[in-house]
Amino acid sequence: MSAALDIRSLSVRYGRTDVVRDVSIRVARGESYALVGESGSGKSTILRAVVGMVPDWRGEIEVDGAPRSALGQGAFAQHCQMVFQDPYASLHPRRTVDATLSEPLRIHGIGNRDAQVIEMMRSVGLDPRYRFRFPHQLSGGQRQRVAIARALMLDPKLLLLDEPTSALDVSVQAEILNLLVRLRAERGLTYVLVTHALPVVSFLCDRLGVLHKGQLVEETGVAALHDGAFRAPYARELYQASLGAGDRVRDAG
Amino acid sequence: MGAVRDWLTDDAPASRLQAQAGRAWSIARAFGRNPLAMLGAVIIGALIVVAIFAPWLSPHSPVGQDLGSRLLPPSAEHWLGTDELGRDILSRILHGARITLLIVVMVALISAPLGLIIGAVAGYFGGWVDRVLMALTDVFLSLPKLIMALAFVAALGAGLQNAIIAIAVTAWPAYARIARAETLTFRNSEFIAAVRLQGASHLRVIVVHVIPLCMSSTIIRVTLDMAGIILTAAGLGFLGLGAQPPLPEWGAMISRGRSFILDQWWVATMPGFAIIIVSLGFCFLGDGLRDVLDPKQREGR
């Protein structure tokens, strides 16, 4: 069975700096995989390379067994979508929730848009009353629900999550995480999550990869987060550093 | 009335129509609170009404000559006096409103979309597309407006249509610059990336997502430029290169009145007043629209 996402020896350059060096990741269908690392470790860049937002990359990226380059933009959109970190920047400021959610259906010529938009709003926990609101009339959590709904409109199987909760209040973070867990179970989604918050990983993911300076230093099951059984010294360091922060999130959530 | 207001201000509109009506309502309310903007809207509204109903409003024919009553001062019979061929100046000004409105609307319809598209394409694609388009824009921008328009009219021949084309050709670079600057602020933003990720073509991104965001600043700029467009048209008319006699174009009327300006001041002054009032009206309207449409200024209220 082919993997949902198969990245082989991916390298990305921004100008003269190597941001990602020779990273290989294989994510099975239905799995939830986390990429962790500190800022600047290249974790977001990997997601951006997968969706084609980074022009200068080398290596191979396969989605659902098909090379990235073989999938046209339209076909790729139906396989894989992304949820961005900042819900304030990822929604068009002049389009209502309705316009944002029906846009992917319009692009792909899918009919019955009104019913689908309302159904999707319900399924991400948004009251259909908000359908004709603008982003500036919504709270951060509601915006992120809209962003998640937008990513799911085309019913993709692979969802890339770029720090989906880090721009939100702690209490709202918990709601969004619960929503992501429920959606994954309901729709059989595959997640690739980028984050620096290890508690989020242990809540949402099965497996994680630790990135350090653009290289994958360790790949392990999520159980390692409970006993701290990391081999790579950098991964142990990251784990130790997160212990304090983890307790805070668990108390609040 | 109360029910309609409740329907308009409902914070959870039930339909697309209601949402749009509610938005228009809040913009109109904000606009109504600004007295200068309202004055501008009234002036422009009056201009439009006059242009539509000119034949019914004017007491005399705009072109009918009466050499027996040449250069009469303002009186009960001729409110604004008569010109050197005995034509009623009030009637000519009222009919001239049609020409002014035609020039303004046509120039806006030609130059604003042109500038908007060129600017949005340049800003969105960047790279060499941007460099080529902006070099072209700079060439047009560096030439003085009236001189450019003169050159175009000289090449195409005098006349109203050619004056409109000439002014439109000189007016678009400003809108291209604005649209490009606006586009650059969000071309790398995540909501554009998200739309691309959903499979939208470049054309769709530009037309559906980029251009609407540049729209309000362009509308504001066009409205503020209207005064300049009217003045350029009047300048061309004054030089005899715009509307040709006997069309009652305001600039051409001033030009004819120049010969009598010392003894029969009203011949040149009355169309001058018309130009000033309409230009002011567009300026007030543009300022008011900026306050209402600019989301950055509206958010704070």
> How many structural domains are present in chain A?
1
Number of helices (H), then strands (E), belonging to chain B: the values are: 13, 0
Q: Looking at the predicted structure, is the pLDDT value of residue B129 above 50?
A: yes
Determine, yes or no, domain membership for B19.
no
DSSP single-letter state for residue A75 = H
B200 CA: distance to closest CA in chain A (Å): 6
pLDDT level of residue B301 (50, 70, 90 thresholds): very low
**pTM assigned to the model:** 0.83
Task: Give the Cα separation of B37 and B40 in Å (integer).
Answer: 5
Determine what percent of chain A is predicted with pLDDT higher than 90: 42
Contact assessment for residue B235 and residue B254, using Cβ atoms and an 8 Å cutoff: no
Give the residue on B whose Cα is nearest the Cα of A92.
Answer: B191
- Please tell me which residue, A243 or A67, carries the higher pLDDT value: A67
Q: Are B25 and B17 in contact (CB under 8 A)?
A: no
Of A10-14, A81-85, B19-23, the one with minimum mean pLDDT is B19-23
C-alpha A42/C-alpha A215 separation (Å) is 8
Residue A61 lies in a domain: yes
The angle at the Cα of B9, spanning B3 to B14, to the nearest 5 degrees, equals 85
Cβ neighbours of A82 in B, within 8 Å: 194, 197
Helix (H) / strand (E) containing B292: helix B266-293
Query: Are B191 and A90 inside 8 Å of each other by CB?
Result: yes
Chain-centre distance for alpha carbon A170: 18
Choose the weakest-confidence range: A160-169, A241-250, B63-72, B143-152: A241-250
Q: Do the domain assignments include residue B14? A: no
**Are B194 and A77 in contact (CB < 8 Å)?**
no
Query: pLDDT-based confidence at A253, cuts 50/70/90?
Result: very low
Most confidently modeled range among A55-64, A69-78, B203-212? B203-212
Amino acid at site A126: L
A78: contact with B, CB 8 A cutoff: yes
Contact A68, A52 (CB under 8 A): yes
Report yes or no on B20 lying in a domain.
Answer: no
pLDDT at A17: 84
* Average pLDDT value over all residues in chain B: 87
Confidence of residue B295 (pLDDT cuts 50, 70, 90): low
Query: Would you state the pLDDT for residue B131?
Result: 95
Element (H, E) at B145: helix B145-156
CB contact under 8 Å between A81 and B204, yes or no, is no
Q: How far is CA B69 from CA B11, B18, B50, B228, in A?
A: 64, 58, 25, 35
Q: pLDDT per residue over A142-177, tens digit each?
A: 999 999 999 999 999 999 999 988 888 888 999 999
Half-sphere exposure (Cβ direction) of B28: Cα atoms closer than 13 Å? 9
CATH of the domain at A19: 3.40.50.300
The partner residues of B44 in beta bridges, in order of sequence, read: none
Predicted pLDDT of residue B299:
46
Q: What is the mean pLDDT of residues B182-188?
A: 91
Distance between CA A213 and CA A37 in Å, rounded?
9
Mean pLDDT of B176-194: 92
| Whether A230 contacts chain B with CB within 8 A | no
Cβ–Cβ below 8 Å for A84 and B190: yes
Token pair of B180, please? 């490009």
| Binary contact (B191, A91; C-beta < 8 A) | yes
A128-139 as b/e: b if 16+ CB within 10 A: eebbbbbbeebe
Give the residue on B whose Cα is nearest the Cα of A79.
B198
Mean pLDDT of A12-39: 89
Q: Considering the domain boundaries, does residue B141 fall inside one?
A: yes
Residue B27 lies in a domain: no
The predicted model gives A69-96 an average pLDDT of 88
Average pLDDT of chain A, as a whole number:
87
**Residue at A210 is within a domain:** yes
Between A253 and A243, where is the model more confident? A243
A140-152 helix and A170-187 helix, angle to the nearest 10 degrees: 20
- What is the token pair recorded at B43? 């002036």
Residue carrying the six token digits 């973070």: A173
Distance from the Cα of A220 to chain B's closest Cα (Å) equals: 30
- Domain holding A247, by residue range, is 5-94+155-252
Task: Quote the percentage of chain B above a pLDDT of 90.
Answer: 34
Rg of chain A over CA atoms, in angstroms?
18
| Contact yes or no for B198 and A81 at CB 8 A | yes
Cis peptide before A164 (omega within 30 of 0): no
Q: What is the total count of domains within chain B? A: 1
Residue A128 lies in a domain: no
CA atoms of B89 and B96, how far apart (whole Å): 10
CATH number of the domain at B241, please. Answer: 1.10.3720.10
Q: Residue A251: is its pLDDT beyond 80?
A: no
Dist CA A89 CA B186 (whole Å):
9
Q: Chain A: nearest CA to B130, how far in angstroms?
A: 18
For B19, the closest of A77, A94, A132 (CB atoms) is A132
Q: Domain residues for B78?
A: 34-299
Is A150 domain-assigned? no
Q: How do A32-36 and A207-212 pair as beta strands?
A: parallel
A82 touches chain B (CB under 8 A): yes
Lowest pLDDT segment from A151-155, A171-175, B66-70, B260-264: B66-70
List of chain B residues whose C-beta atoms are within 8 Å of the C-beta of residue A91: 191
Q: Looking at this predicted complex, what is its ipTM?
A: 0.86
Using DSSP, state whether B186 is helix, strand or coil: helix
Contacts with A103 from chain B: Cβ below 8 Å: 195, 198, 200, 208
Whole-number pLDDT of residue B241: 83
Name the pLDDT band for B192 (thresholds 50, 70, 90): very high
Cβ–Cβ below 8 Å for A77 and B199: yes
Alpha-carbon distance of A164 to A204, in angstroms, equals 12
| Rounded (5°) CA angle B190-A15-B193 | 15
Tally of helices (H runs) and strands (E runs) in chain A: 9, 10
- Sequence-distant (6+) residues with CB within 8 A of B178 are B115, B119, B214, B217, B218, B221
Confirm if A201 and A242 have CB atoms less than 8 A apart.
Answer: no
Indicate whether B5 belongs to any domain: no
Instruction: Name residues whose C-beta falls within 8 Å of residue A149's C-beta, 6 or more positions apart in sequence.
Output: A101, A120, A121, A123, A124, A126
CB contact under 8 A, B190 and A86: yes
Q: Which of residues A173 and B145 earns the better pLDDT score? A: A173
Residues of B engaging A, defined by a Cβ cutoff of 8 Å: 12-13, 15-16, 18-19, 189-191, 193-201, 204, 208-209, 212-213, 295, 299
The secondary element (H helix, E strand) that includes residue A63 is strand A57-63
Residue type, B142: S
Residue A108 in contact with partner chain B when CB distance is under 8 A: yes
Contact B214, B120 (CB under 8 A): yes
Residue A173 maps to a domain: yes
CB of A163 less than 8 A from some CB of B: no
Q: What is the pLDDT of residues B88-121, one digit of tens each?
A: 999 999 999 999 899 999 999 999 999 999 999 9
How far does B84 lie from chain A, in Å, by closest CA? Answer: 55
Residues 6+ apart with CB under 8 A from A31: A4, A190, A191, A206, A207
Which of B16, B197, B293 should be substituted to probe chain A, the one whose Cβ sees the most A Cβ atoms within 10 Å? Answer: B197
